[in-house]
């Protein structure tokens, strides 16, 4: 890339993508976008909600040169709810897509309603053999559930393959605490490795930790490697979500540089209160970011380009 790949300003392109609320499984939200394919026409996987607030993963196609126009929509969910009682029976939200040996690996977050806390989250995996039209779960159980390393929750993985090593940066819950009458989650970003993308070794390494006592959620890592430098975009919140940025020489030791994230509110109502869930990708020598604005994806998916 010839443009600055990290320390730069993002320019928001037009209004957000907003899929039509046309079916029972797609009533509200287009959250946690994931871009697939090559060229200016891209398939965007996203998470929608039904009338009960349950999330499913669908897709739409857009052209980066006409960022407010939805060109096509998947008629059915690419990944539906899990079976009753499973870790994802109340929702599946998109996270990351890997092309490997003519198959697509869709890493996602499964949602289950809680009792003492509002929800339980765990990482799942589904694969596609038809180019991403439909996906099937590799297991009815989670890929990374809770254990001694991650005792509270796991979510939102980002996965890269380097010389046969699968590397994952993911959200891990560090604790819940009681705040008035509600339970408040705390989560940050950790690291794991695998030889096949299926069996993962959790290292316990915290890559992005809380910057202050007021910060309690660090979410949705999106990692790019530029030469010998790793760059990560993510969202972090105290009062509200903002996009953060960090750099690393090895993908393990990270330095937060949130003041270099470079994304400000667009000036439009749709992201006036929140910028969250970044997904960064390159096309035609330019670097793009998909992200969500207000309401955790209720107002659609924004597109920005690194100036």
> What is residue 1's predicted lDDT score, i.e. its pLDDT?
41
Q: How many domains does the chain have?
A: 1
For 259, the 3-state DSSP assignment is: helix
Task: Give a yes or no: residue 100 inside a domain.
Answer: yes
**CA distance readout (Å), 89 to 14, 54, 55:** 36, 9, 10
Q: Could you tell me the CATH number of the domain that includes residue 134?
A: 2.115.10.20
Closest C-alpha to 239, from 273, 263, 210, 278: 273
Task: Give a yes or no: residue 5 inside a domain.
Answer: no
For 26, the 3-state DSSP assignment is: strand
pTM: 0.95
Report d(CA 160, CA 154) in Å as an integer.
Answer: 18
Range of the domain at 302: 13-306
Task: Give a yes or no: residue 96 inside a domain.
Answer: yes
In sequence order, what are the beta bridge partners of 243?
A: 235
Task: Give a yes or no: residue 194 inside a domain.
Answer: yes
Task: Give a yes or no: residue 8 inside a domain.
Answer: no
Report d(CA 111, CA 117) in Å as an integer.
Answer: 12
State the DSSP code for 271: G
> What is residue 58's predicted lDDT score, i.e. its pLDDT?
95
In sequence order, what are the beta bridge partners of 304?
A: 12, 289
- pLDDT by 10s per residue, the chain, length 307: 444 455 589 999 988 888 877 789 999 999 999 999 999 999 999 999 999 999 999 999 999 998 888 999 999 999 999 999 999 999 999 999 999 999 999 999 999 999 999 999 999 999 999 999 889 999 999 999 999 999 999 999 999 999 999 999 999 999 999 999 899 999 999 999 999 999 999 999 999 999 999 999 999 999 999 999 999 999 999 989 999 999 999 999 999 999 999 998 888 899 999 999 999 999 999 999 999 999 999 999 999 999 8
> What is residue 6's predicted lDDT score, i.e. its pLDDT?
57
Per the listing, tokens 């380097």 go with 162
Task: Give a yes or no: residue 184 inside a domain.
Answer: yes
Task: Give a yes or no: residue 4 inside a domain.
Answer: no
H helices present in 161-280, as ranges: none
CA of residue 194 relative to chain centroid, distance: 20
Task: Give a yes or no: residue 7 inside a domain.
Answer: no
């Amino acid at each position: 890339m010839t443009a600055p790949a990290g320390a730069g300003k993002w320019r928001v392109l037009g209004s957000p993508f907003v899929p039509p609320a046309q079916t029972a499984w797609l009533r509200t939200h287009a959250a946690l976008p994931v871009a697939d394919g090559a060229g200016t026409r891209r398939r965007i996987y996203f998470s929608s909600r039904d009338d009960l607030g349950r999330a499913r993963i669908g897709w739409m196609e857009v052209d980066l040169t006409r960022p407010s126009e939805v060109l096509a929509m998947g008629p059915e969910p690419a990944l539906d709810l899990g079976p009753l009682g499973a870790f994802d029976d109340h929702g599946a939200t998109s996270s990351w897509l890997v092309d490997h040996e003519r198959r697509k690996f869709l890493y996602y977050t499964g949602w289950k309603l809680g009792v003492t806390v509002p929800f339980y989250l765990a990482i799942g995996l589904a694969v596609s053999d038809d180019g991403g039209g439909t996906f099937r779960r590799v297991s009815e159980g989670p890929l990374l559930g809770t254990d001694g390393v991650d005792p509270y929750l796991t979510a939102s993985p980002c996965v890269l393959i380097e010389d046969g090593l699968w590397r994952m940066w993911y959200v891990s819950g560090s604790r819940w605490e009681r705040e008035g009458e509600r339970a408040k989650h705390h989560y940050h970003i950790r690291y794991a490795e695998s030889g096949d993308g299926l069996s993962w070794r959790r290292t316990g390494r915290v890559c992005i930790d809380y910057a202050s006592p007021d910060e309690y959620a660090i979410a949705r890592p999106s990692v790019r490697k530029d030469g010998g430098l790793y760059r990560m975009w993510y969202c972090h919140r105290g009062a509200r979500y903002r996009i953060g940025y960090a750099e690393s020489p090895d993908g393990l030791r990270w330095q937060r540089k949130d003041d270099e994230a470079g994304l400000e509110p667009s000036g439009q109502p749709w992201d006036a209160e929140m910028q969250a869930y970044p997904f960064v990708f390159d096309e035609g020598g330019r670097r793009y970011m998909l992200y969500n604005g207000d309401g955790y994806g209720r107002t659609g998916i924004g597109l920005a380009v690194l100036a």
